[in-house]
Amino acid sequence: MVEVFKPTSLAEALRIRADKHAIPFAGGTDLMVRFRARDGMAPSFKSPILFVDALPEFNTIRMFNGGLKIGASLPLSILAGDRGAVNGGTGTGATSGVVPDAAVLATIPGVLKAAAAEVGAPALRNRATIGGNLANASPAGDSIAALYALSAEIILVSLSGERMIPIEKFILGPGEISLKEDEIIHTIHIPAPLPDWTYWRKVGTRRANALTKISLAAAASIKDGRVESCSFAFGAVGPRVIRVHEIESLLQSRFPVVQEAKLKEIIAEAKKFASSMITPIDDQRSTAKYRKTVALNLIGDAIASLVEELKLGD
């Protein structure tokens, strides 16, 4: 029978993690499905379990140097701005009843909020956490695509201290992350400046409670009517979320564009860059061809929306 631990402090959690190599367990929405057993049998966990949902500091969200720091166990319902969660206490770490500051919630970048809001359905979002979504490292993980677009940094802690790692280095492959056996994800840091424009489009198998077939998360900072920096990240089109840096340099400080023809040219070029990087697969949810075609279509949509934003700023 597996051992379970319910630490009440971070220090205790880290000690157990180091001694027992226990699996961090937050909302359990991935773990309970992965280790699901048949009727009459207990979930088939083999390693010790470390509940990290109730650690108070894991349930916080706060401003930090113009960016945001999000505790690993913050439930997605809070990021999504679901009514129930904000007004009624939190789901994960439910016993804590933490209600974050409304002013802080208002700063959550649109792309992250929208991505979180499209994860599963309300009851699921009340338990599912951002840290869990990240650590699960599914190429279809919705908050992951958003965090790529936001150039998030992951803060990992262990008894020997803290380290910070960019999300692109943290995620190694499907279900594979750069996490040492004694480490826990502590915080997700979204560095300043928070973006002025974001884009989120998820194509799922239906309108709610659906896993992602393809997604595009994008963000940009705008200065003097020009794109200062931007990012385009695609979900579910390869073994990892794919950020196409070439598109970003293509768009940087190129705008505003007025002529249609020029815009078309830029979009075509952006698609070319993406096309060489996107290598989706056929599976029970969709086809490689569909995923690729739609991913490319979404680039055009996103760039057009960015250009709209620049015009408005004029």
The residue (of 79 and 230) whose beta carbon lies closer to ligand FAD is 79
Binding residues (CB under 8 A) for other proteins: these are 1-4, 6, 25, 27-29, 32-33, 35-36, 38-43, 45, 49, 51, 53, 83-85, 87-91, 94-95, 97, 120-124, 126-127, 203, 205-211, 284-287, 289-290, 293-294, 297-298, 300-301
Q: How many CA atoms lie within 13 A of 208 on its CB side?
A: 6
Nearest approach, Cβ of residue 22 and other proteins (Å): 12
Query: Comparing C-alpha atoms, which of 188, 183, 189, 153 is closest to residue 50?
Result: 183
By CB under 6 A, how many residues form the interface with ligand FAD?
30
**Residue 142 interacts with ligand FAD (CB under 6 A): yes or no:** yes
Nearest approach, Cβ of residue 218 and ligand FAD (Å): 17
Helix crossing, 260-277 with 288-313: angle to 10°?
140
Question: Is the CA virtual torsion 173, 178, 181, 186 positive or negative?
Answer: negative
Residue nearest to ligand FAD (CB): 132
The residue (of 93 and 109) whose beta carbon lies closer to other proteins is 93
User: Segment 196-215, which members bind ligand FAD (CB under 6 A)?
Assistant: 211-212
Q: Point out which span in 119-127, 261-269, 284-292, 305-313 binds ligand FAD (CB under 6 A).
A: 119-127
The three-point CA angle 225-227-233 to 5° equals 145
Nearest approach, Cβ of residue 241 and other proteins (Å): 19
> Which residues 6+ apart lie within 8 Å of 181 measured at CB?
17, 21
Q: CA 119 to CA 154: how far, in whole Å?
A: 21
Helix crossing, 142-149 with 110-117: angle to 10°?
170
How far lies 45's CA from each of 13, 21, 31, 58, 135, in Å?
19, 13, 9, 24, 17
312 binds, among ligand FAD, other proteins, none (CB under 5 to 8 A by kind): none
Distance of CA 271 to the CA centre of its chain: 23
**Residue 136 interacts with ligand FAD (CB under 6 A): yes or no:** yes
Nearest approach, Cβ of residue 67 and ligand FAD (Å): 20
**Residue 132 interacts with ligand FAD (CB under 6 A): yes or no:** yes
**Residue 127 interacts with ligand FAD (CB under 6 A): yes or no:** yes
Query: Comparing C-alpha atoms, which of 182, 186, 149, 140 is closest to residue 167?
Result: 149
Encoded one letter per residue, x for contact with ligand FAD by CB under 6 A and - for no contact, window 23-62 reads xxxxxxxxx-x------------------x----------
Nearest approach, Cβ of residue 226 and other proteins (Å): 26
Q: CA 143 to CA 131: how far, in whole Å?
A: 9
Rule CB under 6 A: which residues touch ligand FAD?
23-31, 33, 52, 72, 119-120, 124, 127-129, 131-133, 135-136, 141-142, 179, 184-185, 211-212
